[in-house]
Structure 1
Amino acid sequence: MKSNKQIKDIIYVHKNTDRQYVVSYGINFREFALHTPQPLKSLLLIKHQYEHGAFNIHTHLEYVEQEEMEKITSDNVEGYGDFCWIDFDEEAGVNELNGQEIAELLYMGHLKQPLNAPFYSKLNNRFAYLSHDDGWFNKIYYRDFDDFYEILGSTVASKLGSVKGGKGLFGMKKEKQFPVVGSQIITSFKEKIKEGMIISIEKAIVSRGKIEIPIWVIGDYFNMDEMIEDYQQFSKSPANGLLIFDRKTKNWTSSIR
């Protein structure tokens, strides 16, 4: 069990295009929910320890409605161990799931991988969210990868704003708020995300005119202890790219090496 304190100011992302998932470290459920381009509707909870869900008699699973979302995002989700869910539009759709589909959901929650593509027309879901020690190991299936790029760009900006306590980065006067890193900037790293890359906010270089966030391509990991260990080594070598924030124009650009 990893305590949340061990999660550094780095984001690791590895995208598997064929299977439609992203493995990540450093983006937790609250950040995910906050930064989805369209608000999450309702969540069918497959594995969790949330105590305030409603009970669906048909599936014997609990669910969270949209108006309860603030409550679950404020809960100690990283303390649950496994936290797995799939979003849905209407409870009527959940009640139409057949035995095979319910079995598939349970299998997916248990093994963190679906038997088939985890997108159901009855649920109209955009995601299948499978995490262990949420924020430490997350495997999320995306119907549309544009959602992923937006979530990543928004999360980088919000982490940069909150890092290093109240003073902002490295004790410098805190910027009011960083604009989100646009999808076109994030997608310039598309190929590197497929290889597995780290965005290292903790090693950002701050000067009067700009902030440079280094990016390293480090490969494909499911074991996040190994990923962090290897990152310590990779981060001693020149970065494979930079996210650059111009403090005058308030614009983001990227540089790929």
Structure 2
Amino acid sequence: MFYLSMFFQYLSQYLKTRFQYRADVFVEFFSDLLSQAINLIFILVVFGHTHLLHGWNRDEIIFIYGFFLVPFAVFSAFFNIWDFNERYIVKGELDRILTRPIHSLFQIILERLELESLLGAITGLAVMFYAGSRLHLDIDWYDPILFIVFVVGGALVYGGIFILLACISFWADARTSLMPMMYNISNYGRYPVNIYNQLIRFVLTWILPFAFVGIYPAAFFLEKQEWYWYSFLTPFIGVIFFILSVIVWNQGVKKYRGAGN
């Protein structure tokens, strides 16, 4: 209850701050929308030259991309830790965090909320409904429940991986470019893994499991039975990676010695 209360208090302050600058919210939303539109145009350009991509048609790829946008939006809203090294380690703001009676990771997550990113989920849902209608997909009563479970699992996969990257800063506090590089690698999860070679497919499934953010859970709704068991692994992979990241984080905090010279 204490952590739940803290969440709503931070949320209240965040909303007050953001609504003071409403124009910024709309600008960020339209910039995100433009970025997503560019990625969608890329898919359309690819399928302007071919009808199938390793057995996947255009609407299936669009559906996967739409699904991917939803857990990515949740991740972007609650795990905005891109500059953890620069802000909290190099500049020493973690010292302030550690003086408060609340878990350090939870507090950093609350400080860096970007709830406007959740608007990207609306775009993803719209893309999914568009592609799903063209594919004539049926919706069963349990599909919305599984959708939420898969989205949470995918967001935890993303969160776990990027928290693990942030943890590197506890042992190596030099500025690093791993975050942007990993973000680029994560984009591979937007597309079917069987279009890649075996090595990349293995990495995207078991080492950096970004495939569980997009293709694997989306394959369930596309009724790709050969991918079903991967789909149901999504929440488990997400929980495992997130728990692992918290464990590593707790060990890293013990190694932290403060910002000195």
- Normalization by structure 2: what TM-score? 0.24
Structure with greater strand percent: 1
Query: Which has a greater percent of helix?
Result: 2
* Bigger RCO (CA 8 Å, 6+ sep): 2
TM-score normalised to structure 1 length: 0.24
